[in-house]
Amino acid sequence: MSGDAGGAGAAAASGMAAPRPVIGLEIHCQMTSLKSKLFCPCRADYRGMGPNENVCPVCMGMPGTLPRLNAEAVRKGTMIAMALGCAIPERISFFRKNYFYPDLPKNFQITQLDMYGDTSIGGRGSILVDGGAVGIRRVQLEEDPGRMIYEGASARNHISLVDYNRAGTPLVEIVTEPDFEGPRQLRLFLQMLSDMVENLGVCNPALEGAMRADANVSLEGGNRVEIKNISSFHDLEKAVVFEIARQEAQHSRGLEVAQETRHWDAARKITIPSRLKEGEEEYRYLLEADIPWVRIDAETVESLKSRMPESVSEKRERFVSQYMIPPQVADVLSSDKLYSDLFDAARTDKNARELANIITTDLMGLVMAAATTEPAPDSDAAGGDAQKKRDDPASDVISVDGLRELADAVASGQMARNSAKQALHEMTKTGKSFSEVSSEMDLGLVSDESELLGVVRSVISEEPKAAEQASSNPNTINYLVGKVMQKTRGKADPQVTLELLKRCLLGD
Ligand SMILES: [Zn+2]
């Protein structure tokens, strides 16, 4: 390309330089915290039920039934739109998206569309991700389809089963502008969004299938490829990286990228073309006349604003400025609602720093280990127990009071950090209280001089070289403190130990 007489500009025009990738997302987020489906009284939480137990004439699309809009879904959807910096419309409407596929018995999905002005739950928002703005085109409410289950391995002996428990459960779809600069920003956005919906109390992203995403990928000026229904964010990033490379390879060979829908083959780690589906124009969108337009008045907007919880970034800022928690620790703590709630419940002005430390360095690891090693008892119900565990994993293993007492003991110098780790382990394993564990395990800090003096003397006699150098090299004193700690398994009060050593070796 450098040999071209026209230089870089001509090279780009002749199609040799790879144009910039253009990436946009559509994220489907289940409103798992709601009680009922979007248009009927069936449960929104369909998990762990037998096939087709969570259905009624409305979500089964029986003739003569009428949908009735879930008001809490409108409120929660509006809160998501607000958190994404969207404009809230004065009124919202619903549309029928027609398609013939057995996962929705009505043969249409009730969704939103901005056909007559801005009538989706939110739109034209923007949030800052990794220093760059990502535009939010639209936030819309819609119903989730049922689940298709395919049995039989060969094409000839193929059985399709359908389970409508999920059909009609409330979803929020978030459509971004194609603003992503690369996979890193994509990953950070998804993490931020997942933290946000969890913090708003709308969705538990840890539940299987609670957040799914489609990605639109193209090279500037080229055709757009849609990668459908990727259920893990990790896979989404890999799929986008693969797809950009594939399109760039096509481009460098002078081939046009076909406009198509592809899906991610997680086993082979490639995207492959999907069978043809309807294009937008084939959905024959139609205003859903069975659901009246809903007015979102200023009073509602104000009351929802007052219901908005502290955002993840505000929380992080509070942890850093109010409790002097190191920024990296505050990042970890603020982005997880369960742990940050636990922190806020157990903290005092004095123990906050130690508490944050105990939660992020010890407790999170213990909970994670318990979740992966513990066999779920009598749970053949498709991971139902494991899911319940993840709903509130920390409070299952330790009480707020226990955690507070533990952090208090470390903060006041009654217990060494090392011993606190042991105590936490014992408390989570046995369910015993802090006072039981600390007296049984004898974990209190030893600060009694007469008790420590014996240990200090034996360390000095075992380390004659270091003892000799102590007067000329202060570092060796720290080394000897470490030795005393080792002998007492971390229980010696470091301050008292230091003073005793100085007294014995330097005559201070
Ligand atoms: Zn129903």
Q: How far apart are the CA of 284 and the centre of ligand 1, in A?
A: 25
Q: How far apart are the CA of 168 and the centre of ligand 1, in A?
A: 7
Tell me which residue of 169, 70, 83, 79 sits closest to 126, measured CA to CA.
Answer: 83
**Mean pLDDT in residue range 381-385:** 36
Q: How far apart are the CA of 60 and the centre of ligand 1, in A?
A: 7
Question: CA–CA separation, 455 vs 172, rounded Å?
Answer: 64
Mapped to the 3 state alphabet, what secondary structure does 104-141 carry?
CCCCEEEECCCCCCCCCCEEEEEEEECCEEEEEEEEEE
Question: CA–CA separation, 458 vs 461, rounded Å?
Answer: 5
Q: How far apart are the CA of 208 and the centre of ligand 1, in A?
A: 21
Q: How far apart are the CA of 49 and the centre of ligand 1, in A?
A: 14
**Which of 81-85, 206-210, 226-230, 288-292 shows the lowest per-residue confidence on average (mean pLDDT)?**
226-230
Answer yes or no: is pLDDT of 300 > 90.
yes
Residue-wise pLDDT tens digits, 159-199: 889 999 999 999 999 999 999 988 889 999 999 999 999 99
Q: 177: Cβ–Cβ under 8 A, 6 or more apart, which residues?
A: 24, 134, 135, 136, 137
Q: How far apart are the CA of 44 and the centre of ligand 1, in A?
A: 9
Q: How far apart are the CA of 356 and the centre of ligand 1, in A?
A: 44
Sheet containing 225-230: give its strands across.
122-129, 132-143, 170-176, 21-30, 211-219, 225-230, 260-265, 270-273
**Which of 58-67, 289-298, 332-341 shows the lowest per-residue confidence on average (mean pLDDT)?**
332-341
Task: Spell out the domains of the chain, with CATH numbers in brackets.
Answer: 15-295 (no CATH), 310-440 (no CATH), 449-506 (1.10.10.410)
Q: How far apart are the CA of 57 and the centre of ligand 1, in A?
A: 6
For residue 316, the model assigns a pLDDT of: 92
**Angle subtended at Cα 300 by Cα 296 and Cα 303, rounded to the nearest 5 degrees:** 155
Residue-wise pLDDT tens digits, 244-273: 999 999 999 999 999 989 988 888 889 988
CA distances from 145 to 108, 109, 111, 282 (A): 10, 8, 11, 18
Q: How far apart are the CA of 47 and the centre of ligand 1, in A?
A: 15
Q: How far apart are the CA of 103 and the centre of ligand 1, in A?
A: 14
Q: How far apart are the CA of 36 and the centre of ligand 1, in A?
A: 8
Q: How far apart are the CA of 402 and the centre of ligand 1, in A?
A: 43
Q: 486: Cβ–Cβ under 8 A, 6 or more apart, which residues?
A: none
Q: How far apart are the CA of 29 and the centre of ligand 1, in A?
A: 19
Q: How many CB atoms lie within 10 A of CB 19?
A: 15
Answer yes or no: is pLDDT of 381 > 60.
no
For residue 373, the model assigns a pLDDT of: 66
Tell me which residue of 162, 132, 138 sits closest to 28, measured CA to CA.
Answer: 138
Pairing of strands 170-176, 21-30: antiparallel
The DSSP bridge partners found for residue 129 are: 132
Q: 197: Cβ–Cβ under 8 A, 6 or more apart, which residues?
A: 29, 80, 172, 203, 205, 211
As residues whose CB is below 5 A from the ion ligand 1, the structure lists: 40, 42, 56, 58-59
Answer yes or no: is pLDDT of 239 > 90.
yes
Q: What is the CA radius of gyration of the chain?
A: 30
Question: CA–CA separation, 85 vs 311, rounded Å?
Answer: 12
Residue-wise pLDDT tens digits, 396-431: 678 899 999 999 988 887 787 888 888 899 888 888
Q: How far apart are the CA of 174 and the centre of ligand 1, in A?
A: 24
Question: CA–CA separation, 68 vs 75, rounded Å?
Answer: 15
Q: How far apart are the CA of 81 and the centre of ligand 1, in A?
A: 26
Q: How far apart are the CA of 206 and the centre of ligand 1, in A?
A: 25
Tell me the pLDDT of the chain averaged across its residues. 86
Q: How far apart are the CA of 74 and the centre of ligand 1, in A?
A: 18
Q: How far apart are the CA of 2 and the centre of ligand 1, in A?
A: 64
Answer yes or no: is pLDDT of 46 > 70.
yes
Q: How far apart are the CA of 194 and the centre of ligand 1, in A?
A: 27
Q: How far apart are the CA of 294 and the centre of ligand 1, in A?
A: 21
Question: CA–CA separation, 83 vs 454, rounded Å?
Answer: 61
Question: CA–CA separation, 500 vs 508, rounded Å?
Answer: 9
Residue-wise pLDDT tens digits, 443-464: 666 777 777 888 888 888 888 8
Q: How far apart are the CA of 59 and the centre of ligand 1, in A?
A: 4
Q: How far is CA 339 from the centre of its chain?
A: 13
For residue 444, the model assigns a pLDDT of: 67
> pLDDT band for position 395 (50/70/90)?
low
Structure tokens at 32: 């798992």
Q: What is the pTM of this model?
A: 0.74
